[in-house]
A and B are shown apart, each in its own frame.
Chain A
Amino acid sequence: MGSGVRGIRGAIIFTVVAVLLASLTILGAFNSLYFHKFLTTTQDTRLLAVALDARDMLGRAVALGLPLAQFEGRRQVIAEARANDGAIVAITLYEARGTEYAAIDGGTPLPDAWATAMRRSPQAEWWPVRDARGFGVLVPVTNSFDTRVGLLALLQSPAVLEAPRARFDGYLAGMTVLVAGPAALLLALLAFVLVRPTVARLPVWSAHAAALRAAAEAGAPLPDPPAPATTPGGRLIDALVAEPLALLRVEITAKPVRSGETGS
C-alpha cells in the first residue's frame, strides 16, 4: 500500500479497525464484569447460608431478651462457622447500642459504609459489604420480640474469586486476541479495496492540475488531459473535474498568464 494508505484510505482503515477493537474490548469487558458479578453473587449466597445458620443459633440464644454480649456460647457459634467454611477471613458480631452498633469484642463501631448501606435499604434481609480484608454479608440478629439486638458480619477472602476469574478472563482475552487480529487485518484490507477506486484517481488529476498551472505560469505548451478512468469511482472523479479543467484550459489558452499574476 505504501504512501497510498495515507489520507482518506488511512483514516477510514484506522477508524474501522479502531471501532472493531473498541467493540471487542467493550464486549470482553462486559463478559468479564458479568462473570465477576455472577461469582460474587454466588459466593455471597454461599456465605449467606453460613451467616444465616449462625445468626439463627444466636437468635435462639437471645430469644427471650438475653443481651448478646452475655451469651457465652457466641464464640463457639462463630468458631463453628469459621471451621465449616475455609474461605471466611473475619466474623464480627455487633451489638446494638441505641441507634449505633459496636463490635462486642473490641468495641469498634460499625463501618460508615455498612451503616449507609443499611440506611439505604432498611427493609433488606441482608446487606452485601466489603472492606480491606474481603467481601461478605451483614445480617441482622433479632430476638423473639422482633427487636434487632445486633448484626453479624462475615467476610470472605477475595481469593475465592481470583482463581476462577483469572481462568475465565484468560480464556476471554485469548479468544479476543485470536479473533481480533485476523478480523482487523481482513477489515483493513477490505476497506482499502473498497475505497481505493474512488481516491486512486485523485493524484492523477492533482498532477494534471499542477502541470497545467506550471505550464500556464511558464508560458509553456499545456499538457494533455489524462486518459479516461476505467473504474466507476475513477469515472465519477473524471465526470466531476474533466470538463471544468478543460474550460480552465481554454481560458489559459485564450489569456496567457504572467507569473506575476499568480497569488498562491
Chain B
Amino acid sequence: MSLAAATSAAVTRLKVRVVTLALLVILSAAAAVSVPVAGRQFQDLPVELAAKHVTLVSQLGRDISRAVEFGIPLADMRGLDVLLADARAAHPEVGYLTFVDTQGRTRAGQDGAPAPTDLSGVPRTMPGSAPRLVELDAFHALRLPVIGPDGAVLGDIHLGIDRSHVVRLIQDRVFDIITVMVVTAIIATELLLLLLDSMVTAPLLGLQRWAEDTRAGRGAALAGAPGRGELAAFVRQLAGLSGVVHGTPTSPTAGVPWLIMLRHVRVALFVYVVADTLSLSFLPLFSRELMSPLWSLSEDVLVGLPIVVYWLMSAVVQLPGARLLEHMTHRRAFVVGALLSAVGAVGSAMAQDMASLLVARAVSGIGLGLVFMVCQAAILTHVPTERRTYGVATFTGVFFLATFSGTALGGIAAEHLGFRATFVLSGGIALLACAFAVLTFGTSREPHRPAVQAAEGWAAYGKLAVNPRYAGLLLLAALPNRMFNVALVFFLAPLYLDMLGASKAEIGRIVGVYGLTMAFAAPLIAAWVDRRGWQVRSVVIGSLLCGVGGFAVVPFDNQWGILIAVALMGLGQSMSIPSQMTLIPTVAASNARVLGLPRLYAVFRAGERVPAFLGPILAGVLVGLLGYGAAIATYGAWLAVSAILLAFVFSASRSKCA
C-alpha cells in the first residue's frame, strides 16, 4: 500500500471509529432518557386529561339535575342518551360515557365501546377534588356523582378514557423523538468530522506531502497544524529541523488540502441549508395567516405564491450571479448570498401582509441561488477533476441531509416558538453560516474573463444551445428529472397518499425517503462512478431507474407503489444528478473557454429549474385526465424515453468524434 493510501485509510479508520463510538453513546444515552420519560408520560397524560373530563361530566350532571328540577323523572329522561352520545362524540378519547342510577342500573349511554361490566369498584371523584382514576380493562376509569336539586345523589356518570388514545399520543411522540435523535446524530456527525478533519486529517495530509517531497528531494514545506497539540508541536519541530538542514528558515505554511476545503464548503452549506429550510414545513400556513386580496388572485394561488417566488428567484439569479462570481472570491459571494437569506428571513418574520412576505421570500430566493452557485463553483475549483463526481455528490448529499434536518427542526421550532420566531432563528443560523465561510473559505475565486461583447455573447450562447451533448444533458436528463421530481415529491405523492388514507406523519415519512436516499446513496454511488469514469452511464441508468419507479404504481396501486416510486427516484437521481454536473465541463469544453464554467452551470441550472414549475401543473392536468397512478406512470414513461434518447445522443456524438 502506498504512503498516501495508508494515510488515507488510517485517517478514515480513525474518523469512522470516533464518529461511530460517539453516535453509539449519544443515541444510547438519548434512548436511556427517552424510554423512562415516555413511561412517565404514559402515567401523567391520563391524569391531566381527566381534569378536562371532570369539567365535562360536571356539566352533564348539572344538566341532568336541572331536568329533574323541572320535574322530569329520571326514568322518563329520554334525551339522556342523546346528551351522552353527543358529549362522547365531541371527545373521541372517551371510550364509554354512561349514567348509572343509585340502584346500579345503567340508564343511558350504551353506544360507543362497551363499558366494563362491573363499575362499582371505581372510586368517586367528588366535585372540586382531584380526579381519582383507576385502570379498568382497556380504560382509565373516572366516576362522578350527579347531585339532585335536593342535594341527594341521583346516580353516577362513568367515563372511560380509551388507553389506546394515550398510547397513540405517546406513539406520535416516539416518531418526533426519533426525528430529533436522527437530526442530532446528523449534526453531531458533521461537527465531529469537521473537528477530526481540521485537527487530524489536514496535518496528516500535510505531513504525507512533506514526506513525499523530502523523499523526492524537492523543497519541502509543511502544512501547519492548528493549536498547541501534539501534532502542532511535531510539525513545528519538523519545520525547524528542515530549516536548519536547508539553511533557510522554514515556517509551517497554511496550505489546505482539497479534502479539507470540501469539508469546509460542506459544513457551510449544511448550516446554510438548515437555516433556509427551517420554514419549509410551515410557509403555506404562514402565507394563509397573512392572506389578503392581491392582484385579484385566488386564495389557492396566493398561498403557493411565496414558494413560487422563492424558487423562481433562486433560478433567475443564476445568470447574473455567474457574472458576479467572476468579480469576487467564493467567500465574499457566499457571504453576500447568506446575508441576503438572513435579511429575507428576518423580513419574513416582520411581514404584515402578503406583498411584504413576497418581497422577503424573493430576497431569500436570490440568496439561495447565490449560495448554491458559489458552493458548486468552490467544489469544482478545489476538487481534482478525477474526483468531481464525488465532490458534486457531497454537495447533493449534504443538501438533502440538511433539508431533512432543517425541515424537522423547523416544524418543532414553529410549534413551540411560533412562525415569526422561527424565521428569526433561521436568519441567525444563516449568519452562523456566513461566519463559518469567512473563517474557512480562504481566497479562492473563479478565473476572471474579459467582458464578452453582447453580439459575441449571444453567438456563444447560440453555440452552446446547439451543442448536442450539452443540450441533450439539459433537455433529456436534467429537465425531465427535475420536473418529475417536483411533480412527484411535492405534489402527486402527498395528494395521492392523502387520497389513499395515509396520515400526515405517514405521508411525511414516505416522501422523506427521497431525501434520505439521496443523502446516503449519492456520495457512495459517486465514489464508485468516479473510479470507473461511468458518468454518462450513470446519468442514463439513473434516469431509467426514475422512469421504472414511475411504473411501480401500476402493479402496486397503494402506499407501497408510491414508496417504491419515491425510493427509486432517490436512488436514480443519486446516480444521475452528480454525474450531470460532472459532465458539463467535458461536454461543453469549447463553450467553457469562451463563456467560462460558471455561466455554463448557470444556464444549465436556470434551464432545468425555471420550467420545473410546470411539473405540478402538468401533473394536475394528467391527474384530471388519467388519474393519479397513470399520471405518475406517464411521467415515468417520459423519463425512460428521455434516457434512451440521451444514450443515442452520446453514442452518436462519440461516433462522430471518432
Give A residues with C-beta under 8 Å from B. Answer: 6-12, 15-16, 19-20, 23-24, 26-28, 30-31, 33-35, 37-39, 42-43, 45-46, 49-50, 53, 84-86, 120-121, 160, 164, 167-168, 171-172, 175-176, 179-180, 183, 186-187, 190-191, 194-195, 198-199, 202-203, 205-206, 209-210, 212-213, 216-217, 232-233, 236, 239-241, 243-245, 247-248, 251-252, 257, 261-264
Contacts and interface: CB of A to CB of B under 8 A. Distances in A.
B241 A213 contact: yes
Contact of B231 (A8, A38, A160, A186): A8
A30 B38 CA distance: 12
A8 B37 contact: no
B52 A194 contact: no
A243 B215 contact: yes
Contacts of B363: none
B59 A53 contact: yes
| Main SS class of interface, A | helix
B26, B36, B240: which has the most chain A beta carbons within 10 Å?
B26
A241 B211 CA distance: 6
Nearest to A119: B289
A89 B210 CA distance: 76
B177 A191 contact: no
Interface string B139-171: 000000000000000000000000000000100
B227 A264 contact: no
Nearest to B185: A23
Given A121-B289, A160-B51, A244-B215, 16 more contacts: A7-B229, A8-B199, A11-B195, A15-B195, A19-B22, A35-B44, A42-B51, A171-B40, A172-B37, A179-B33, A187-B22, A209-B241, A216-B245, A236-B10, A240-B3, A252-B244
Interface in B176-217: 176-177, 180-181, 184, 187-188, 191-192, 195-196, 199-200, 204, 207-208, 210-211, 214-215
Contact of A217 (B192, B220, B244, B247): B244
A178 to B, nearest CB: 8
B230 A206 contact: yes
A154 to B, nearest CB: 12
Contact of A198 (B10, B36, B237, B246): B10
Interface stretch (B248-256, B364-372, B539-547): B248-256
Contacts of B227: 7, 11
Contact of B211 (A187, A240, A261): A240
B195 A12 contact: yes
A9 to B, nearest CB: 8
A38 B48 contact: yes
Nearest to B49: A42
A27 B231 contact: no
A50 B51 CA distance: 12
B324 interface: no
Nearest to B14: A198
Given A42-B51, A243-B211, A191 B22 contact: yes
Contacts, number: 239
Contact of A210 (B25, B28, B48, B237): B237
B55 interface: yes
Contact of B245 (A120, A195, A248): A248
B18 A34 contact: no
Nearest to A87: B51
A46 B230 contact: no
A229 B233 CA distance: 19
A15 B3 contact: no
Contacts of B214: 244, 247-248
A175 B198 CA distance: 35
B200 A8 contact: yes
A30 B41 CA distance: 13
Given A7-B230, A26-B184, A190 B25 contact: yes
Contacts of A202: 230-231, 233-234
A184 B490 CA distance: 41
A91 B85 CA distance: 29
A49 B59 contact: yes
Contacts of A121: 289
Contacts of A236: 6-7, 10
6 closest pairs, A vs B, by CB? A7-B229, A263-B249, A244-B214, A209-B237, A183-B29, A46-B52
B504 interface: no
A262 B28 contact: no
B55 A49 contact: yes
Nearest to A44: B52
A149 to B, nearest CB: 23
Given A11-B199, A16-B18, A38-B45, A263 B243 contact: yes
Given A7-B228, A15-B192, A27-B181, A205 B234 contact: yes
B58 interface: yes
Nearest to A33: B416
B59 A213 contact: no
Contacts of B241: 209-210, 212-213, 216, 245, 248
A220 to B, nearest CB: 13
B207 A50 contact: no
A145 B210 CA distance: 88
Interface in B1-58: 3, 6-7, 10, 14, 17-18, 21-22, 25-26, 28-30, 32-34, 36-37, 40-41, 44-45, 47-49, 51-52, 55-56, 58
A257 B245 contact: yes
A26 B232 CA distance: 34
Contacts of A191: 18, 21-22
Interface of B: 3, 6-7, 10, 14, 17-18, 21-22, 25-26, 28-30, 32-34, 36-37, 40-41, 44-45, 47-49, 51-52, 55-56, 58-59, 62, 128, 169, 173, 176-177, 180-181, 184, 187-188, 191-192, 195-196, 199-200, 204, 207-208, 210-211, 214-215, 220, 227-234, 237-251, 289, 412, 415-416
Given A7-B228, A175-B33, A213-B237, A190 B199 contact: no
Contacts of B232: 7
B415 A37 contact: yes
A241 B200 contact: no
Contact of A12 (B18, B36, B211): B18
Contacts of A199: 229-231
Contacts of B196: 12
A191 B33 CA distance: 22
29 contacts: A7-B229, A16-B21, A19-B192, A20-B25, A23-B29, A27-B33, A28-B33, A30-B180, A30-B412, A31-B34, A33-B416, A34-B173, A34-B176, A49-B55, A53-B59, A84-B59, A168-B44, A183-B29, A183-B32, A187-B25, A194-B21, A198-B14, A199-B230, A199-B231, A206-B237, A236-B10, A244-B220, A248-B241, A263-B248
Contacts of B26: 19-20, 23, 183, 187
A6, A19, A241, A245: which has the most chain B beta carbons within 10 Å?
A19
A239 B3 contact: yes
Nearest to B1: A239
Nearest to B200: A8
A187 B18 CA distance: 10
Nearest to B87: A49
A176 B29 CA distance: 9
B228 A6 contact: yes
Nearest to A236: B10
Nearest to A257: B244
Contacts of B52: 42-43, 45-46, 49
Contacts of A26: 180, 184
A26 to B, nearest CB: 6
Given A50-B55, A241-B211, A244-B210, A27 B180 contact: yes
B25 A10 contact: no
A31 B37 contact: yes
A260 to B, nearest CB: 10
A244 to B, nearest CB: 4
A203 B14 CA distance: 19
A16 B52 CA distance: 44
A178 B196 CA distance: 29
